[in-house]
């Protein structure tokens, strides 16, 4: 942490602040420039201390040197984390593909989707039983009934299941019947939920908040890991920008950047990012090409009858073709589907 | 709702879609242009129907005509909503001022803050017992102990209390001991929380999500109102943009815009919006000048000792001066402090 | 400037970099932390040096301490700049009001607008002879013919004239016939134009680029001032965000912030910022309340016949009412209309 | 174009507007809903007419049906445009690779860069003689002297040259000595420049404005094409968002989206987009995987000595490795390097 003193800060103030920080256990390196004095503060990063200092009129700004995250960082954990679920590994050379409908609409639709994505090569079925919807007048999901259907389809097809968890009170019940718990974009900073997810021992798929910086996103993963659950999968799903042609702007640079900063696996959801089924194949290929460990793709047996997100869903035939297409790109970066 | 057909859509597809919509109870007006056919669809707005249509390859786009909100809209409720809490009215000619520290840090700090803001003219004390924090290593609030302190200070000072509610399971307990429940920016689309808030009969202060459009914000209010709780206060607190000098960008245009679209009262929080105490007075005056019904301002007895958000807190003397300053601006727009 | 060395940077690299900077005339303060070494570099800020350093693999990041601007900064010029044009002063206690149509459409329309805004109290007529338009098929302005009309109307009405200059080659010709040269939002970083404007001795109204940070905007002003022209007026006109209800998001916090950072006058254009005539009065009041030195407002005799920007133009009656309204707000902040 | 009338608009206003539009040559389809009347307006799109209508108090909003662009659109030009420069084709199966230093710094540096990128397989040398820089105190390019160096290096190496043109007055001189004229991000809406570029018969590389929507970008291309120059290459180079870890956010979804909307070739500049050399290889692969027709990459013989943009430049060895890497990805999408 570096403290840049105000040009008008006097000697007395500089000494007072230095002394106070030394009493808190920090070591101080003072550097006196032409216009400003700068204090290098050596020791553990603590936001409270920084904020307190910034509130002083004699301080111009406080600059952080170290990253705020620890457990998610690659600095002290240089090897990639690989999350294993039976025969499926997320973060290894084989791409993890999660596919399925936006929402569980009924057992038949779910089963049909499951067999379709399985036969095309997906290992994990995605489908929401609890649906966050912008309008109170929209379909809100089948909730617990939907969850039961997911359990039955899991047993019947042998697919792993990922589904969204909406609050801290349902974490344990969901963890008992699905394989991966998904935190949606609106919940990325629901800190009570994150803390509860830190207590379980099941993988968590953490979607990026639609206006979250990469640092905030990694800090959300830090919440889960600081509770003792190290199985976190990050999922880039587009950020909010001024561009209206796509639903969100898919930030693929986040993939290689996170690979530098963190050891956690990263997957990409091109369906929510673009909101347009016709862009999904191209963006899936791009995601694999820049190093994503997997994909999350919306597939619906009949998109034009979907109760939500139809325009961004592939039909089974399109999905099968995409899985074929991905083989070449995967091979070119040393991976396989 | 208007359906713009793809230029390549044939007569058969146009007829099939028209018939299906008529079977669902809509009336159809067809308009055949040089390149495209357009179908005007008359009847109740339903997102599912629109999405289903957009997923059809023959449909180019679907354009909404009516706004998605009903209860929050001014169209069917032309008069301003005024929320009354004993002698305090939010939405009336007297500005509602909510002030106090970011977090409850202890009883002494809270009481000192409370008397300070009361003597300067605030009617409502703000302070967080539960604190959402970006880092798991930061101070997370005194939680239930903090809430007890708020109750005691409320009794002692006679100030009304507004504090943040973090999830649907604590709604009832909080409603029992504070006057206004605040939904924070990260929870604006926590739909389970919103639905629970629809069941109580206490005012809800709904902060705008940091990347929420005005329409999404009003839809969040619609969730609460659709449950039967009509006492919603909107609070503009800055949106996320590319500008790094301020913590957020205060979107004051939202104030007169919401006054057109909705009958609900709107207040402004310049402390979180700017993140800089020195900008708070100017932006408070601006908020009043463009029609805000009140302000939410962070005040701490000693900002440089605050456990959170010190740099954006006014000290009691600065707050008293601000309240004096506001008198003139308020008068110029027909209101008073 | 502070250099944060990579945790893996060895002693040899640290010494090599230090020596090289000392040879360039900098003084170095070294600070050795637990994981990283930090070098405080004292001397003139130069971006090239910083970029060169950042390209070294041993350097993690370079942090600037001083602001990049000099002449625009308040640090070495504590008093407010007031720009005088005959009896009109921009930056003084009387608000500077610039009003008129978006584009010069014809002599009659211009004259009618001019008398209307003058009788309502504006001192400066705004109107574009050269119009930057998104579509090549839209009306592009009357160009030189429009400029002649502006000259004649200036003579007839005694109003000062502000109009947009589009490139460096027309700066002198425009400077000869108008009072203030406006740099539009798309030209804020047209550095050849800015340099040419540095050579004249007429005031320049510098609009903020629609996605420019405040620092970039001040650097654009620095370009003009570094050429010797100190008469720069900044104009906030809204920035581009994700919100679709308004054309741009008016960033009023920029006003008090610039008053801290710089001595230059700042005015606000609520017409382009919001794109909606009905929001202009409220945002004009807010601009004055937070310290703006003036306003730029679109007024058209018959907005529904305007060739551009009709939806955001006030008619003369609305403008007259607004000027009346502003009196109270101006008085409350120690100014007058 | 569709006109949504205000719910309060009376029969008289609806008739008056319909008649006026019919007099202008439009055909009108009227559709009377429960709350609103909607007028479908059939005929040529003209923004002035739409704006004029929107300024009427009886009109709620005007919705466009057709896209504003014509010549750039794929609708009337279904085949891909391929731009041929001798043996190089941009838009064909072979990827077009433009590489070289940010700025011409001297003949030796340029020649060294040129041979390096040529031997790695690039066909086109990029280097700026005129440099737009945020600070007036930064290196501004060698200007005409730099251009002469580019000419000599072109002759010596046989590479094609792409360089930035800064204003309309230098278009012809630059066109005489380079192969492709580049419009920089800050000039994307410099309409005088675009119009001048419409008059030449050399390819133009049009970078996306850093806050331009895809529609505005295509409209800028329309300016050039409407002048008669059909050789436009679009270049995605990142947009401005709230994310601070990368210089800009590379919007790769724009690539497949433009392929749908337009027949023009699209290339990607991952160097400016990310600002970090270490992200360039991954984002180059992603660009090719999602359908880009080529890449523009910064390469400097010694990035740590570059006078600008060193941190985002590859050295020759890294670039050679990248070109090798691209072969596999290119093959997987049916292209080659």
For the stretch C111-159, pLDDT in tens is: 999 999 999 999 999 999 998 888 888 888 899 999 999 999 999 999 9
Structure tokens at B174: 């909080």
Q: pLDDT at position D264, please?
A: 98
**Residue B198 exposed, middle or buried by CB count within 10 Å (0-12, 13-18, 19+):** buried
Could you give the CA distance from residue A70 to residue A197 in angstroms, rounded to a whole number? 18
Q: What is the DSSP letter of B208?
A: P
Structure tokens at A277: 């089924």
pLDDT of B1 higher than 90 = no
DSSP A96-116: EEEEE-SB---HHHHHHHHHH
Instruction: Name the minimum distance, in Å, from the CA of C86 to any CA of chain D.
Output: 31
| Per-residue confidence band for A234, with pLDDT thresholds at 50, 70 and 90 | very high
CB-based contact, D191 to chain C, within 8 Å: yes
pLDDT of B193 higher than 80 = yes
Q: Which residues contact D145 (CB under 8 A, 6 or more apart)?
A: D129
Q: pLDDT at position D237, please?
A: 98
| Per-residue confidence band for B164, with pLDDT thresholds at 50, 70 and 90 | very high
Per DSSP, helices labelled H in chain A are 11-23, 47-54, 107-120, 143-157, 171-177, 191-197, 214-226, 254-261, 270-274, 280-289, 316-332
CB-based contact, A324 to chain D, within 8 Å: no
pLDDT of C46 higher than 80 = no
Is the domain of A57 the same as that of A150? Answer: no
Contact C132 D191 (CB under 8 A): yes
- Residue B289's nearest CA partner among C120, C289, D251, A257 is C289
**Residue B272 exposed, middle or buried by CB count within 10 Å (0-12, 13-18, 19+):** buried
Average pLDDT over residues A303-311: 76
Per DSSP, helices labelled H in chain B are 11-23, 47-54, 107-120, 143-157, 171-177, 191-197, 214-226, 254-261, 270-274, 280-289, 316-332
CB-based contact, B251 to chain C, within 8 Å: yes
| Per-residue confidence band for D33, with pLDDT thresholds at 50, 70 and 90 | confident
Q: pLDDT at position D49, please?
A: 80
Question: For chain B, which chains pass the contact test of at least 3 CB pairs under 8 Å?
Answer: A, C, D
The answer as to whether A101 is a domain residue is: yes
Q: Which residue has the tokens 């044009």?
A: C85
pLDDT of C173 higher than 90 = yes
Average pLDDT over residues D242-252: 95
The answer as to whether C68 is a domain residue is: no
Q: pLDDT at position D165, please?
A: 96
**Which secondary-structure segment (H or E) carries D296?**
strand D294-298
Is the domain of C90 the same as that of C51? Answer: no
Q: What is the mean pLDDT of chain D?
A: 93
The answer as to whether D90 is a domain residue is: yes
pLDDT of A318 higher than 80 = yes
Average pLDDT over residues C19-40: 84
Q: How many CB atoms lie within 10 A of CB B157?
A: 18
Q: What is the DSSP letter of A210?
A: T
Q: pLDDT at position C161, please?
A: 98
Tell me the residues of chain B between 23 and 42 that have a Cβ less than 8 Å away from chain A.
none
**Which secondary-structure segment (H or E) carries D293?**
none
Q: pLDDT at position C200, please?
A: 97
CB-based contact, B241 to chain D, within 8 Å: yes
| Per-residue confidence band for D4, with pLDDT thresholds at 50, 70 and 90 | confident
The answer as to whether B77 is a domain residue is: no
Average pLDDT over residues A266-270: 98
Is the domain of B41 the same as that of B122? Answer: no
Q: Which residue has the tokens 């995250």?
A: A69
Instruction: Name the minimum distance, in Å, from the CA of D154 to any CA of chain C.
Output: 27
CB-based contact, A287 to chain D, within 8 Å: yes
CB-based contact, B213 to chain C, within 8 Å: yes
Is the domain of A96 the same as that of A154? Answer: yes
Contact D249 A239 (CB under 8 A): yes
Is the domain of A270 the same as that of A129? Answer: yes
Structural domain including B172 reads 83-332
- Chain D residues within 8 A of C135 when measuring between CB atoms: 47, 68, 219, 222
Contact D75 B244 (CB under 8 A): no
Is the domain of D128 the same as that of D185? Answer: yes
Is the domain of D237 the same as that of D297? Answer: yes
* Domain stops at, among C63, C95, C110: C63
Closest CB to D307: pick one of C48, C133, C187. C48
Question: Higher model confidence: residue A39 or residue D84?
Answer: D84
Contact D306 C168 (CB under 8 A): no
Is the domain of A100 the same as that of A231? Answer: yes
- Residue-wise pLDDT tens digits, D282-327: 999 999 999 999 999 999 998 887 777 778 899 999 999 999 999 9
pLDDT of B64 higher than 90 = no
CB-based contact, A56 to chain C, within 8 Å: no
- CATH code where residue A309 lies: 3.20.20.70
Phi, psi of A127 (to 5 degrees): -175, 140
Contact D226 C137 (CB under 8 A): yes
Is the domain of D52 the same as that of D145? Answer: no
Q: Which residues contact D262 (CB under 8 A, 6 or more apart)?
A: D69, D72, D73, D74, D218, D221, D234
Average pLDDT over residues C283-287: 98
What's the domain count of chain A? 2
Q: pLDDT at position C154, please?
A: 97
CB-based contact, D290 to chain A, within 8 Å: yes
pLDDT of B86 higher than 90 = yes
Q: Which residue has the tokens 């436009």?
A: D232
Is the domain of C189 the same as that of C57? Answer: no
CB-based contact, C280 to chain D, within 8 Å: no
CB-based contact, A210 to chain B, within 8 Å: yes
For C173-199, letters b (16+ CB in 10 Å) and e give ebbeebbbbbbbbbbbbbbbbbbbbbe
CB-based contact, D125 to chain C, within 8 Å: no
Question: Higher model confidence: residue C181 or residue D64?
Answer: C181
Q: pLDDT at position D138, please?
A: 81
| Among B305-309, D37-41, D193-197, the least confident range | B305-309
pLDDT of D244 higher than 80 = yes
The answer as to whether A69 is a domain residue is: no
Is the domain of D255 the same as that of D130? Answer: yes
- Chain A residues within 8 A of B304 when measuring between CB atoms: 52-53, 55-56
Instruction: Name the minimum distance, in Å, from the CA of D37 to any CA of chain B.
Output: 10
* Predicted interface score ipTM higher than 0.95: no
Q: pLDDT at position D173, please?
A: 93
CB C225 within 8 A of CB C218: no
Is the domain of C93 the same as that of C226? Answer: yes
pLDDT of C306 higher than 80 = no
Q: pLDDT at position C135, please?
A: 85
Closest CB to A31: pick one of C40, C66, C244. C40
Question: Higher model confidence: residue D29 or residue A264?
Answer: A264
pLDDT of C309 higher than 90 = no
Structure tokens at B61: 């786009």
pLDDT of D247 higher than 90 = yes
Could you give the CA distance from residue B88 to residue D316 in angstroms, rounded to a whole number? 71
Instruction: Name the minimum distance, in Å, from the CA of C138 to any CA of chain B.
Output: 22
The answer as to whether C104 is a domain residue is: yes
The answer as to whether C50 is a domain residue is: yes
Contact B137 A46 (CB under 8 A): yes
- Residue-wise pLDDT tens digits, B223-277: 999 999 999 999 999 999 999 999 999 999 999 999 999 999 999 999 999 999 9
| Among C83-87, C136-140, D18-22, D104-108, the least confident range | C136-140
Nearest CA in chain B to C271: B253
CB-based contact, A228 to chain C, within 8 Å: no
**In percent, how much of chain A has pLDDT > 90?**
73
- CATH code where residue D13 lies: 3.30.70.1140
The answer to whether the predicted template modeling score (pTM) of the entire model surpasses 0.90 is: yes
Closest CB to A48: pick one of B134, B216, B308. B308
- Residue A48's nearest CA partner among B139, B106, B103, B110 is B139
Q: How many CA atoms lie within 13 A of D314 on its CB side?
A: 27
Q: What is the mean pLDDT of chain B?
A: 93
């Amino acid at each position: 942490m570096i403290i840049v003193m105000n040009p008008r800060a006097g000697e007395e103030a500089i000494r007072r602040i230095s002394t106070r920080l030394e009493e808190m256990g920090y070591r101080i390196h003072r550097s006196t420039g032409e216009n400003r004095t700068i204090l290098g503060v050596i020791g553990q990063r603590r936001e409270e201390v920084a904020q307190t200092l910034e509130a002083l009129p004699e301080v111009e700004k406080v600059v952080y040197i170290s990253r705020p995250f620890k457990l998610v960082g690659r600095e002290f954990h240089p090897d990639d984390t690989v999350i294993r679920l039976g025969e499926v590994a997320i973060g290894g050379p084989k791409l993890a593909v999660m596919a399925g409908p936006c929402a569980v609409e009924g057992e038949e639709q779910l089963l049909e989707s499951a067999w379709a994505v399985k036969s095309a090569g997906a290992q994990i079925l995605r489908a929401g039983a609890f649906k966050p919807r912008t309008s109170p007048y929209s379909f809100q999901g089948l909730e617990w009934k939907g969850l039961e259907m997911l359990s039955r389809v899991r047993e019947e097809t042998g697919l792993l299941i990922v589904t969204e968890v909406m609050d801290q009170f349902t974490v344990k019940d969901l963890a008992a019947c699905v394989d991966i718990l998904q935190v949606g974009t609106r919940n990325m900073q629901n800190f009570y939920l994150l803390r509860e997810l830190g207590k379980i021992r099941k993988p968590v798929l953490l979607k990026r908040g639609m206006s979250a910086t990469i640092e905030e996103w990694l800090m959300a993963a830090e919440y889960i890991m600081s509770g003792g659950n190290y199985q976190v999968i990050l999922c880039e799903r587009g950020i909010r920008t001024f561009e209206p042609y796509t639903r969100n702007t898919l930030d693929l640079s986040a993939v290689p950047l996170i690979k530098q900063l963190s050891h956690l696996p990263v997957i990409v959801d091109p369906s929510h990012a673009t909101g347009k089924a016709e862009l999904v194949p191209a963006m899936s290929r791009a995601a694999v090409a820049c190093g994503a460990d997997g994909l999350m793709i919306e597939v619906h047996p009949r998109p034009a009858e979907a109760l939500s997100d139809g325009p961004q869903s592939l039909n089974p035939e399109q999905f099968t073709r995409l899985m074929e297409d991905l083989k070449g790109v995967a091979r070119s970066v040393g991976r396989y589907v």
